[in-house]
C-alpha cells in the first residue's frame, strides 16, 4: 500500500510540474515565440522526473556504510542540459539578439520542475506565478521607463567619398548614437550604408526622413 502511495505521489508531482510548465508556455505561445506549451511542459516534466530519479531511484542499491550516493548529482546535470536547449532558442542576427526571454523561461521552467520533483510544491507554484507575472506584466510598455532602442537603418547614397562622414555628422548633431556601421556596393552601383543606431524610446521614424530631407547624396532610406 505504501509503495502505491509513493507511486501516486510521483505521478502527482509530474502532473503538477506539467501544469506549471504549461502556464509559462501559454504566455510564450501567445506571443508566437519559438518554444510554446509543449516545450515548456516537457522541460518541466522531464526535470521533475530526473529529480525524482535522483532522489528516490537508487534506494535498492544503497547500503549503509558501503554504498552511498549523492542525490544532487543527477539533478545537477539538468542545469547543464537545459543550458544547451536554451542556447538553441537564442538567435543572433547581425547586432540584434532575440530569444533571450524564451531561453530564460526555459531555464526557469526547469528549475520549477526540479522544485516540484523534490517535493517543494509551494516554491514551485510560487516561482511559476512570479515567472508568469514577469513575462506578462513587465512585457508591457511602461511610459515612465525610458529605455533606448537600437534599430537598423539602411541608406543608399551616391559614390561620394565624404558620404559616410556627412551621415555620421548628421546623426551626431541630432544626438543619435551610431553603434555599428557597414558599407558596401549595391547592385545598382550606389553605395549602401548599413547602420545600427540607438534611438530614444519615443523617437518618431518620420524624424529620420526629415533628417536627410534635401540631401542630394541620399537616394533612399530604409528604417
Phi/psi region, residue 214 (left: phi>0; alpha: psi -120 to 50; beta: rest), is left
- My answer on whether 68 and 95 are in the same domain is yes
Q: Which helix (H) or strand (E) holds 105?
A: helix 100-117
> The CATH number of the domain where 166 resides is what?
3.30.70.260
Report the number of distinct structural domains present in the chain: 2
Task: Provide φ and ψ at 216, rounded to 5°.
Answer: -70, -20
Q: Please tell me the predicted confidence (pLDDT) of residue 35.
A: 80
* Dihedral angle of Cα 103, 104, 110, 116, to the nearest 10 degrees: -150
pTM score of the predicted model: 0.67
* Greatest C-alpha distance within the chain: 87
Retrieve residue 12's grid coordinates: 502527482
- My answer on whether 168 and 95 are in the same domain is no
* Residue 210, domain extent: 149-222
Residue of 194, 191, 195, 193 lying closest to 159 (CA atoms):
191
Query: pLDDT confidence of 145, banded at 50, 70, 90?
Result: low
Chain Cα centroid distance, residue 199:
22
Q: Please tell me the predicted confidence (pLDDT) of residue 46.
A: 92
144 found inside a domain = no
Give the residue from 137, 172, 200 where a domain finishes: 137
83-92, 97-106, 138-147, 200-209: range with highest mean pLDDT = 97-106
Side-chain half-sphere CA neighbours of 99 within 13 A: 14
Amino acid at each position: 500500500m505504501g509503495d502505491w502511495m509513493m507511486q501516486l505521489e510521483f505521478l502527482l508531482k509530474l502532473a503538477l510540474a506539467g501544469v506549471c510548465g504549461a502556464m509559462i508556455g501559454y504566455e510564450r505561445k501567445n506571443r508566437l515565440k519559438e518554444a510554446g506549451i509543449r516545450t515548456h511542459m516537457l522541460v518541466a516534466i522531464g526535470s521533475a522526473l530526473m529529480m525524482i530519479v535522483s532522489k528516490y531511484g537508487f534506494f535498492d542499491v544503497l547500503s549503509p556504510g558501503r554504498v552511498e550516493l549523492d542525490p544532487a548529482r543527477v539533478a545537477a546535470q539538468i542545469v547543464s542540459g537545459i543550458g544547451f536547449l536554451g542556447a538553441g532558442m537564442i538567435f543572433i542576427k547581425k547586432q540584434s539578439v532575440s530569444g533571450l526571454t524564451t531561453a530564460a523561461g526555459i531555464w526557469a521552467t526547469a528549475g520549477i520542475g526540479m522544485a516540484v520533483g523534490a517535493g517543494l510544491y509551494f516554491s514551485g507554484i510560487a516561482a511559476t506565478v512570479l515567472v508568469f507575472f514577469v513575462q506578462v506584466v513587465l512585457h508591457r510598455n511602461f511610459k515612465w521607463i525610458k529605455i533606448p532602442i537600437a534599430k537598423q537603418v539602411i541608406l543608399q547614397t551616391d559614390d561620394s567619398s565624404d558620404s559616410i562622414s556627412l551621415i555620421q555628422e548628421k546623426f551626431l548633431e541630432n544626438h543619435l548614437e551610431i553603434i555599428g556601421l557597414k558599407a558596401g556596393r549595391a547592385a545598382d552601383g550606389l553605395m549602401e550604408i548599413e547602420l545600427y543606431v540607438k534611438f530614444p524610446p519615443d523617437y518618431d521614424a518620420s524624424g529620420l526622413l526629415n533628417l536627410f530631407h534635401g540631401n542630394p547624396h541620399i537616394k533612399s532610406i530604409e528604417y
